Structure 1
Amino acid sequence: MELDIAKLRDALKSTEARSRFEGAIADALRPDEETRSIAVLKERIERIHVPDGTAKRVGQTFDRMVTRALKKTGEAQCNVLAAPTGAGKSHMMDRLPKDPRLAPSHDMFGPIQPLVYVRAPSPCNLQTLGRVLYKRLTDAEIAPSTKEGEVWQRLRYQMYGQRTVIVAIDEFHNVLVTPKMEVRQAVVNTIKSLLQPTPECGIPHLLRPYPIQVVLAGVPLVQQAVKINGELDRRAKKITIRQLSSTKEGLREMGAFLKAVDNVLGFPRSSDLAEPEMVRRFMAATGGFQGRAMHLVKEAAFAALDDRAPRIDREDHLAVVLEEITTVDPAGNPFLVADASKVRGIRGEDWGEITRLRGIREGTCDE
């Protein structure tokens, strides 16, 4: 067979050209150094934790609970972290899995998971909650057609078998969104059964059922629901997130918090978040909740990084972010008006009605 040198040369040229073209496309799609740096900064900002008084108090409560759970001493408790939407509940709950004492491990009998932490989806009922907990604990699914009682029975087998000592459920209000009191009664009774297992719970003696500590977080509806069961209410430890008032002391505390946040953002220039006028704007925008202030600052910081800005700008970033996560209009936006003291602001009790953050409008147990 005679080799056609000319055709081979053309083919090689075509291959080389195609390779160069593909290489150019890959280079164009590959993130440049600046893009990578911004991604790293965003990840660091997302992890920022500036402990205020509430965070420290919650941390101390969690620390005592973990110690109590691992020693299995005394009665199990139900820690209830209740606050309006966006106040910082999830951020505080996310600190719990970081406790090294609750890290998963293995021994000769299998996996050990001291903590099971989930967020209740929406919509959610008792059966769905059990399936979500089971999935987190075993990485296996329970069929949606499985009856509620069987779901929780299988879940208890796994919890006792894997020596789970704490069950933490964020967004717990999603399980309570029902006007039927008997449904809410079943939910709180099930939670109470984790704290105080009975011989009739159906678990073989070999697994030795024991009290499990519970943490529930959600809007104030959660705290109201716990009262449905007297035994659960007696064992409940209520943790509230304090709302700062626009007094001299409240403004000072919010200012100190914002200054600490500004100092760790890492921008080339200060964003002047703790300036007195800016503090008043934050108070009007957040209803006095530092968790909301942190959320606004982080989202504004991401926007500033996308704009390649040297700092967070009040109008370009904070005002825009506030309108993105709430339904506030420009005329009522504390970050846009000339004089923030003349704006009604977003009251704490109103935030749950207008926010676009995850959560539900607050309700009551007897509605």
Structure 2
Amino acid sequence: MEDAVTDELDEDFVDEVENAVKSIYSQLSLKYIGSSTMKGSAFVKFLNDIVEHMNKSETSSLLSIPSEYESIIQFVAQEAIKEALGIYQEQMDHLLNEEVKLPILWDEFTEIHNNCISEANKIFFEKVIGSPTQMENFVEELNEEIFKFKGEFTKRNSDELTAYNENIAKDYWERYVKIGLNQETLFESNDEFQEALKAFELAYEKSMMKSPEGDKIIASYMQNQYPTAIEYMTQLGRMNAELVKVMKAKEEAETFRLEASAREEEFRRKIEAQKYEREENERNFKTKMEELQANIDQQNKSHEEMKERLIKERDIATEKYNQKLEQLHNEMLEQQRLNEEDKRKLLEQQQTNFEQIQRETEEANRKITEELKRAITLRERESH
């Protein structure tokens, strides 16, 4: 029977089974571990573990329900973490590989990450059970694992941003600057060289994907390609020493600004990510605590209802017992009355019988007396 395919079974039979199962489930009360509800796989594992523990012949220790509860809490937490991580990784992979094409701007990346982590947290907080302290530890464990996956996705986008901006910078450097450093098309003056650098920077700024990676690329050019180009222009006599010194100081300052800007942007992203994740966790944690409080209230209500039901059942049982006692008492009184009645009737019957016997005796004596009298009279007559 267990190998039968549902579609091959009689439709009415399947409906009856489904209705029976629904009816059973509808009457089952919630099971709790502390203030957390124990649902589905958690409850099944709890029962399986208990049965397995009880069936072990080598088990000499008594079954400990608290330790079984702790085992279930850990099991459910790990399952919740595993499922939440799976949801996060699956959605991030789908969004970053299919719906959008890397590289993307960090604000868009952050929005995608936040949406994915919200879905992951939703799954996690729906399933996780335990005390508030335990949940805090599980949340921290989940965040650590998500941070690892996020780091992988972050590196992928960062590498793509770097490659994209490097290609942009390389293209514009060759188009505006490098071409003027060739013997055939040399810059004729420092002004032309300066205009070329400015055109390169403007074109790059317009086409780049704004990001710390983009700032680092232009800063790298100012640290490496710029000095090489300036040195070459100096050798050609297009620039004097004072101008070179001014340009180097300017480029060093700009490089410092760009590098600082990149660091600040990365730091800002980290702070905003931490702020969002903290607010997300606080919101989910608050919702979970409200759920736990509702469970506690429900348990208290159930306990009160059970207490009231027990009191009511006790009162009903007492009333039934008293009714039974009263019934027995009434039956005893009735039996006593019947016994008295039977006794009275018996006495009356005995009195009647006695009187009957007495009358019969008197009648017999009367007859004997009359016969004696007749006999005496007859003898007297015969003697005369």
Q: Shorter-chain TM-score category? A: under 0.3
Q: Normalising to structure 2: TM-score of the pair?
A: 0.20
Q: Radius of gyration: which is bigger? A: 2
The structure showing larger relative contact order (alpha-carbon pairs under 8 Å, at least 6 residues apart) is 1
Structure richer in strand, relative to its length: 1
- Per the normalisation by structure 1, the TM-score is 0.20
Structure in which a larger fraction of residues adopt helix: 2
